[in-house]
Structure 1
Amino acid sequence: MKRTAILLSVSFFITYSIPSFAQQKSTARPNIIFLLTDDHRRDALGAMGNRIIQTPNLDALAGRGILFKRAYITTSICCVSRASILSGKYESRHKINDFDTDFSRQALAETYPALLKKAGYKIGFIGKFGVGVKNIPDTLFDYWAAEKTGQPVYELKNKSGNLIHHTDSVGKDISQFLGKFAGKEPFCLSVSFKAPHELDGNPPTYPVQQRYLDLYKNVSIPEPLTADPKYWNSFPEFFRTDKNIARERWKPLFSTPELHQETVRNYYRLITGVDEVVGDLVAQLKELKIDENTIIIFMGDNGFSLGEHGLEGKWFGYEESIRVPMIISGAPLTRKLKGKKSDKIALNIDIAPTILSLAGVAIPQTVQGEDLLEMTLKKSEDRDDFFYEHTYLGSPRLPKVEGVVSRDFKYMNYIEHGYEELYDTKNDPHETTNLVKDQAYKTKLEQLRQRYGTLKELVK
């Protein structure tokens, strides 16, 4: 992808000057905390207009920072998206396309934690790492509190042998990290919640903390427009099969109105549990008197379908699957950036270059993302579109799909079958009508086909 900012060499030269987005009252490099939720769709946040879910602490972060209303994932599956977040690269470049592949030594050296450690930051990781299983890089970090498994469980045993919910365990580890490293060298803490990811099983479940079991119990969850069976029935035969994982998981969680209500309530309960941890984190930063020099970045690793199009999960190119919440917040931001709602297209590959820029660390030439703060301040060119790719597994379980997402249109190509989708997302945000065969959109379809070919080469 075209990069408009001038990149420094890969010699990891470090500048200690404060970037233009930061307050000028301090020359100290900021602490950086990156918070990642799992399977968190963009509208499951109060600040994004959801009037049911309770996320007051995350909403407050958005009020004190930048809320990215058009944040997307370039590949909607945990392992690939996390590799893209850490590296700032598309799947086509980092080549991690499954749950088993680890970062190579060289690739790991160019992730934002490794670069910040080289620059003098203390680095920590808490929660679900989610990239590879054989060579988890726990020794890279100054603080590591994560299971060396691809997908942790929700109920963990603590040192006393008592059960603790994964979200609460993450909260305790955050507190421990801050108590150990606050007020010393600058730090970068990466936190990855399991919530609100389902607990895989047959059927999948959503284990919720005991104190949240009654939350939302008297709330009626609206049914999505595209939950109507006609949308599932409109899919081509290769997709419309019970072997499709998204349909397989839909059955025990969304196939009746009662199941839909309880599944979404549990999904929301898990997110509210995360919000509680965020509130405790912010309070501890203030108590330690480091809140004035700490930036918090929050996002989801991919979106999630809660029954839309008769599906459960992520993977495919629909809005529910590829859009996530994203916030950058903290006292070091200038007044211009506080309380700002951005309509610019932001991507998961932008996290690494943004964090590196915050720390004053050179961005490797191989990084494909952009500095979100420079973009927000209009110091770099806006994106008009981006490439989407999901090639894990393949048909019939997860048909492979690639495409182009622009501000107003979306083109998707199921590459194993030559089946295409075209949606006017500006006028049809729920993606109810595939326009591929509509002659009125013939020119637009051809434009996006050509753009798809161009981007497919550029992201390699």
Structure 2
Amino acid sequence: MKITPFIKFGLVVVLLALNSPSSYAQRGDVRLARGSNVMLQVPIRTVLGALPGKTQTRQKDEPERPNIIFILTDDHRWDALGANGNKLIRTPNLDALATRGILFKKAYVTTSICCVSRASILSGQYMSRHKINNFNTDFSKPALAKTYPALLKRAGYKLGFIGKFGIDDKRQPDSLFDYWASAKEEQPVYEMRNKSGKMIHHTDSVGKDISKFLYQFANGKEPFCLSVSFKAPHELDGRPPTFPVQERFKSYYDGVTFPEPVTADPKYWNSFPDFFRTDKNIARERWKPLLSTPELRQETTKNYYRLISGVDEVVGNMVAQLKELDIDKNTIIIFMGDNGFSLGEHGLEGKWYEYEESIRVPLIISGAPLPRKLRREKTDKIALNIDIAPTILALAGVAIPSSVQGKDLIGVLRKKVAERDDFFYEHTFLGGPLLPKVEGVVTKNFKYIRYIEKNYEEFYHTRRDPFETTNLIVTKSKSNELARLRKRYGDLKKSVK
């Protein structure tokens, strides 16, 4: 490398800085200056790496960058987790993560469908900005370069991706990653053949790839970021849809009777307007073979829970391996669902719409590198899927691009970043009658829903009415809050672009 006179001057400043208490060096950075004019600021390691015979190694006083594992489940509603108060589901390993970390009790997605939510997670952006609104649109090269994996790669992290990618399966960014284990298919099957020709469940296959990645990359030389995406507990599409479960979990929840959802009463489905209350509505079409009788509802709910318990087992094995490799003390685990799932609420099956069962998800951030006072934290602050990218980047000490719309959640909890009071919800895939397009606003206490093709509104006081049983629009409520949210809806719709 040729060293210019300016850089030579800067290297002198670096050497002086390293030996001076009143140095230019702050938090691992050094400013290369002429007189009093600051010309450039770069990391010390970058400048030292330019010296002959020097390598870019971590200095003794630099904090060790954490390994980061991001785990995503598919269609995982917020209350299908023991840590969130569910006394019937068995998720001991996920609950243990929550006990050792931060449990976000009010975590949501900004669009409840796989492809959009995953694009929002990677980019930290609303759908209105990243523009991925279907299953055959991918990131442009400039947009991909600003996703959290690409930015971590530039910062020296080793990258892994395992499981369902979910964004344009024909043009996956596999070359970006050091370890890639994702089939080129929109929806993976549950029963699949491994390289030896033996049948294996998708959840177990993901578990084996996690183990391979950790043994290969947990070497302490470079930090790693592993993104894991389960298919579970997503249904296997078909007519009818099914929930294929591993053999060893098929007896789970035998003898358990799950309570019927409050809004499973037919009167809630019958209260919808004609454009929504149709058998062409995909959520109703899938409800019929899976949830339309008490017996079907019990079996579907059990299989849904069984798939989640299968994920929990893999997470437990992963945590044990981190301890075995002696890297658990420097690894942060983030666990989230890509969207929720209705199990008969409002006479529906699936996600898409703006109800709590559809848009609210589990979210846990756990690990020894977290600030000590945040371990065992339970918070009601609103967290979103668009917050994952900036949170991961902040944990890794990487600058967050200005294009990111989410927030660093650790910064929010440490009161260094302002918390949000509300957020914009949008789902415009397909449209009616299959999936009527919906937008709205969610606050800590209220929810405003607008079906934009028909200008039909719903308004709920979610703090008093958590199951969303009473549409206050129908009761002709004259609430000032409704007027405020109608205006807020217009403002947010513009701001998310």
Q: Does 1:150 align with 2:186?
A: yes
1:317/1:13 CA distance change after superposition, 3 Å: farther
Q: Does 1:341 align with 2:378?
A: yes
* Larger CA deviation: 232-241 vs 129-138: 129-138
1:119/1:427 CA distance change after superposition, 3 Å: same
Deviation of 1:443 after TM superposition, in Å, equals 2.1
1:299/1:248 CA distance change after superposition, 3 Å: same
- The one-letter code sitting in structure 1 at the alignment partner of 2:373 is K
1:119/1:76 CA distance change after superposition, 3 Å: same
Aligned partners of 2:493 and 2:196: how far apart in 1? 52
- TM-score, scaled relative to structure 2: 0.87
- The one-letter code sitting in structure 1 at the alignment partner of 2:215 is G
Q: Which of 347, 359, 379 is 1:322 aligned to?
A: 359
Aligned partners of 2:200 and 2:285: how far apart in 1? 30
Could you tell me which residue of structure 2 aligns to residue 240 of structure 1? Answer: 277
Aligned partners of 2:478 and 2:379: how far apart in 1? 29
Which stretches in structure 1 are left out of the alignment for 5+ residues?
1-10, 17-23
Deviation of 1:442 after TM superposition, in Å, equals 3.7
1:114/1:243 CA distance change after superposition, 3 Å: same
Deviation of 1:285 after TM superposition, in Å, equals 0.3
Could you tell me which residue of structure 2 aligns to residue 68 of structure 1? Answer: 104
Could you tell me which residue of structure 1 aligns to residue 466 of structure 2? Answer: 429
Aligned partners of 2:41 and 2:117: how far apart in 1? 24
1:237/1:293 CA distance change after superposition, 3 Å: same
- The one-letter code sitting in structure 2 at the alignment partner of 1:327 is I
Aligned partners of 2:126 and 2:44: how far apart in 1? 27
Deviation of 1:148 after TM superposition, in Å, equals 1.1
Could you tell me which residue of structure 1 aligns to residue 390 of structure 2? Answer: 353
Deviation of 1:132 after TM superposition, in Å, equals 1.1
Could you tell me which residue of structure 1 aligns to residue 29 of structure 2? Answer: none
Contact 1:14–1:119, Cα closer than 8 Å, also in 2: no
Deviation of 1:184 after TM superposition, in Å, equals 2.5
Aligned partners of 1:15 and 1:357: how far apart in 2? 19
Contact 1:68–1:326, Cα closer than 8 Å, also in 2: yes
Q: Does 1:262 align with 2:299?
A: yes
* Larger CA deviation: 443-452 vs 227-236: 443-452
Contact 1:421–1:435, Cα closer than 8 Å, also in 2: yes
Q: Does 1:304 align with 2:341?
A: yes
Deviation of 1:380 after TM superposition, in Å, equals 1.6
Report SS of the residue matched to 2:361.
coil
Could you tell me which residue of structure 2 aligns to residue 410 of structure 1? Answer: 447
Q: Does 1:180 align with 2:216?
A: yes
Aligned partners of 1:206 and 1:160: how far apart in 2? 25
Aligned partners of 1:409 and 1:388: how far apart in 2? 13
Q: Does 1:87 align with 2:87?
A: no
Deviation of 1:179 after TM superposition, in Å, equals 0.3
Aligned partners of 2:234 and 2:350: how far apart in 1? 9
Could you tell me which residue of structure 2 aligns to residue 6 of structure 1? Answer: none
Instruction: Give matches, 1:126-137, under 5 Å.
Output: 126-137=162-173
Deviation of 1:437 after TM superposition, in Å, equals 3.9
- The one-letter code sitting in structure 1 at the alignment partner of 2:352 is W
Identity over aligned pairs, percent: 73
1:386-407 Cα distance to aligned partner (Å, 9 max, x none): 0000000000000000000000
Aligned partners of 2:203 and 2:297: how far apart in 1? 23
* Larger CA deviation: 128-137 vs 281-290: 128-137
Q: Which of 269, 273, 289 is 2:310 aligned to?
A: 273
1:10-69 Cα distance to aligned partner (Å, 9 max, x none): x997799xxxxxxx9971100000000000000000000000000000000000000000
Could you tell me which residue of structure 2 aligns to residue 21 of structure 1? Answer: none
Aligned partners of 2:449 and 2:380: how far apart in 1? 22
Aligned partners of 1:141 and 1:392: how far apart in 2? 29
Q: Does 1:168 align with 2:204?
A: yes
- TM-score, scaled relative to structure 1: 0.94
Deviation of 1:444 after TM superposition, in Å, equals 1.8
Instruction: Give matches, 1:364-375, under 5 Å.
Output: 364-375=401-412
Aligned partners of 1:313 and 1:411: how far apart in 2? 20
Which stretches in structure 2 are left out of the alignment for 5+ residues?
1-39, 46-59
1:109-141 Cα distance to aligned partner (Å, 9 max, x none): 100000000110000000000011231111110
Could you tell me which residue of structure 2 aligns to residue 52 of structure 1? Answer: 88
Report SS of the residue matched to 1:435.
coil
Runs of 4+ in 1 over 3 A off after TM superposition: 11-16, 437-442
Report SS of the residue matched to 1:144.
strand
Report SS of the residue matched to 2:214.
helix
Q: Which of 80, 105, 118 is 2:141 aligned to?
A: 105
Q: Which has the larger radius of gyration?
A: 2
Could you tell me which residue of structure 2 aligns to residue 287 of structure 1? Answer: 324
Deviation of 1:246 after TM superposition, in Å, equals 0.1
- The one-letter code sitting in structure 2 at the alignment partner of 1:429 is P
Q: CA RMSD in A?
A: 1.5
- The one-letter code sitting in structure 1 at the alignment partner of 2:107 is A
1:289-333 Cα distance to aligned partner (Å, 9 max, x none): 000100000000000000000000000000000000000000111
Could you tell me which residue of structure 2 aligns to residue 96 of structure 1? Answer: 132
Aligned partners of 1:238 and 1:343: how far apart in 2? 35
1:140-174 Cα distance to aligned partner (Å, 9 max, x none): 10000011111111011011100000000000000
Deviation of 1:376 after TM superposition, in Å, equals 1.1
1:241-275 Cα distance to aligned partner (Å, 9 max, x none): 00000000000000000000000000000000000
Aligned partners of 2:337 and 2:41: how far apart in 1? 28
Aligned partners of 1:175 and 1:133: how far apart in 2? 24
Q: Does 1:197 align with 2:215?
A: no
Contact 1:302–1:322, Cα closer than 8 Å, also in 2: yes
- The one-letter code sitting in structure 1 at the alignment partner of 2:490 is G
Contact 1:14–1:362, Cα closer than 8 Å, also in 2: no
Deviation of 1:440 after TM superposition, in Å, equals 3.9
1:183-237 Cα distance to aligned partner (Å, 9 max, x none): 2210000000000000000000000000000110110010000000000000000
Aligned partners of 2:147 and 2:440: how far apart in 1? 26
Q: Which of 376, 379, 382 is 2:413 aligned to?
A: 376
1:278/1:267 CA distance change after superposition, 3 Å: same
Could you tell me which residue of structure 2 aligns to residue 222 of structure 1? Answer: 259
Deviation of 1:378 after TM superposition, in Å, equals 1.7
Aligned partners of 1:26 and 1:332: how far apart in 2? 14
Aligned partners of 2:79 and 2:483: how far apart in 1? 31
**Number of equivalenced pairs:** 443
Report SS of the residue matched to 1:344.
coil
- The one-letter code sitting in structure 1 at the alignment partner of 2:417 is S
Deviation of 1:334 after TM superposition, in Å, equals 1.9
Could you tell me which residue of structure 2 aligns to residue 20 of structure 1? Answer: none
Could you tell me which residue of structure 1 aligns to residue 481 of structure 2? Answer: 444
Contact 1:14–1:361, Cα closer than 8 Å, also in 2: no
Aligned partners of 2:43 and 2:191: how far apart in 1? 42
